[in-house]
Structure 1
């Protein structure tokens, strides 16, 4: 709960652009900087995800149905990562705004990694020949699932 409140504070600092008024290296300054970095990472992820969905929509066959599943997975992934990283920040036991800083850093790192993974999946799909088998499409999409192990 406290980390969530600090993340709301981070959003407010960013919106008001007053975080840069804090001394460099302070938790509030760092919180402001991480918030800006997270915004950039989310924008990159949004672009990558839109590109992936557009690619799936153009593929035909069962791909448009997969696009809906991928979109739902993405929404849930974003919500889970946010909650997971907020908890991670809280569990540091740090004082002041540092738990929120740790939470934002965690989230930014995860979002940056996810943007790269989504882009890799899109490039994989783009590299498939026009007469590709459905399993090849599914193999590309496996990159969206953490620890995918084929169920065996």
Structure 2
């Protein structure tokens, strides 16, 4: 039996690493560097491409980016997930705590996968093979 994996995409940041292209109102996860969608949209496609198993996908993002997030998630089936907006960014530990609490309240003791929104991973099938290979250890 394939286990449920509740996925969380961390889509925060202040846009300082790729300055001047990336700015506070337009951080790198919203850029389309390869011509096939923003980094955030590509992350969503990768997570929703899991071959089998329930995979709700949530996004943790700043309220200031709500319009951009809604634009990027349009057309993606998030399997019961959706956006979670922070009034103020609190970095990775707070995002993981939020992911854990949300998973426990909605899905019980399911596995949690937390990923950044701005990594380039072109092989969704191999990505999921790696994740699935680690589920026994995660459990």
* TM score, norm. by length of structure 2: 0.31
Compare the two structures and name the one with the higher strand fraction.
Answer: 2
Compare the two structures and name the one with the higher helix fraction.
Answer: 1
Higher relative contact order (CA closer than 8 Å, sequence separation 6+): 2
Larger C-alpha radius of gyration, 1 or 2? 1
